[in-house]
Amino acid sequence: MTFPASAYLLVLLAGALATCVSLPRWRAWCMRTGLVDAPGHRKIHDTPVPLAGGLAVLTGLLVPLLAGAAVLQLNILPVGVGEKISYGFEKRGLQLAAILIGALGMVALGWLDDKHELRAGPKFTTQVGIALLVALAGVRIKLFPESPLSPVLSCGVTVLWILTVVSAVNIMDNMNGLCSGLGAIGATAFGAMAALQGQYLVASLAFLAAGALAGFLPFNYPRATAFLGDSGSHLTGFLLAVLAILPHFYTAQNPRPLAVLAPLLVLAVPLGDMVCVMWIRWHADQPIWVGDNNHLSHRLVRGGMGKPQAVAAIWALHAAAGAAAVWLGS
C-alpha cells in the first residue's frame, strides 16, 4: 500500500496543536523567570516579550513523537501504516535519536545565550559538537567517492553545512514571523520531496517540524506576544539543515543528478541573504559578524513596504523556491 497523505496531515496538525497549546504556558514561565527580550537599542517593542517560541516549538516536536511511539506500541494503526513507520524507525533509529539530542542541545544552547549572552567561542564549540554528533550518527552529506577519507570528508562537510544553515536562519530572525515562517515553508518542501520518493519517516519528521513551527506563527505574526529567541532560531536552522540531508535525492535506482541541488534551492533565501549581508559588511570594511539593517527584510521596508508585507513577500519568494525544488527533486 502507498502511505496515506492523511497521515502526513495528521502529523502536521499534531505538531501545530502541541505548539499552540504549550505556548501560553511557556510564555507564562518565561515571564516568571525573566526569560524575556527587554526593550532597548534597535528594538521596536516597548514592553518585555517572552522568549518562549523555541521551547514551544520543541514541545510541538516531542509531544507528537512520544504520542506516535505510544500508538505504535498499541498497534492500532491501519494495516501497513504501522509496519512502514516501524521499519523506518528500525532503519534510522540511531539517526533519529541523534537528531532529537541535537535539537535539545540547540534549544539549550540558545536558551543559555538568551539568558546569559554567551561568548562566541563556547557557543561555536558547542554548535560544532552538536553537528558532529549528528554526522557521526550517520546523518551525513555523501558527495565523495568511497575511500578511507570519505567518512572524514563527509563529516567535515556536514558539520560546516549545519553551522552555515543555523547561522543563516538565526540572522534572519529580525522581523515578526519571518524565521518561523521560513522554517515552516522549508520543512514543508522537504517533506513533500521525501513523500514523493516514498521516504515515509523523513517526510513525517519534516511535516511534524513544519506543523510545530506553523503553530507558533499566530503568536508571532503580525503582532508578537512571544519571540522565538536564539533557542527557537537555532532549533529552526538545525531542523532545516538536517532535513536537507536526510532525503535520498539521488540513488542508483532513480538517478537524478540535478536533484542534489534541491536542498540549496529550498534554502536559497536564507543562504542568499546571509551571503549578501556578509558581502555588504566586508565591502564597507565592517566586521561581518556585527548585526546591521542590510538584510532583505530591512531593504524591503526601506523600499516602502510595511513590515508584515515585507515578511509575507519573503515567504512568497521562499515558497516559490521550495516549489521549484520539489519539482526538481521529484
Rounded average pLDDT over 234-246: 96
Model pLDDT for residues 67-125, shown as the tens digit of each residue: 988 877 776 665 566 666 666 677 778 999 999 999 999 999 999 999 988 898 999 99
What are the grid coordinates assigned to 323, written together? 516549489
What are the grid coordinates assigned to 36, written together? 524575556
| CA angle (13, 212, 180) in 5-degree steps | 130
What are the grid coordinates assigned to 111, written together? 536558551
Average pLDDT along the chain: 88
Model pLDDT for residues 278-317, shown as the tens digit of each residue: 999 888 888 877 778 889 999 999 999 999 999 999 999 9
d(CA 190, CA 267): 10
pTM of this prediction? 0.92
Q: What is the CB neighbour count within 10 angstroms for residue 275?
A: 12
Model pLDDT for residues 188-233, shown as the tens digit of each residue: 999 999 998 888 889 999 999 999 999 999 999 999 999 999 999 9
Alpha-carbon distance values, 29 to 15, 26, 35, 56, 212 (Å): 21, 5, 8, 11, 19
Q: What is the CB neighbour count within 10 angstroms for residue 173?
A: 23
Alpha-carbon distance values, 99 to 83, 119, 162 (Å): 22, 25, 12
Rounded average pLDDT over 251-257: 56
DSSP string, 163-232: HHHHHHHHHT--STTHHHHHHHHHHHHHHHHHHHTT-HHHHHHHHHHHHHHHTTGGGTSSS-SS--HHHH
Model pLDDT for residues 168-180, shown as the tens digit of each residue: 999 999 999 999 9
Per-residue pLDDT, 126 = 96
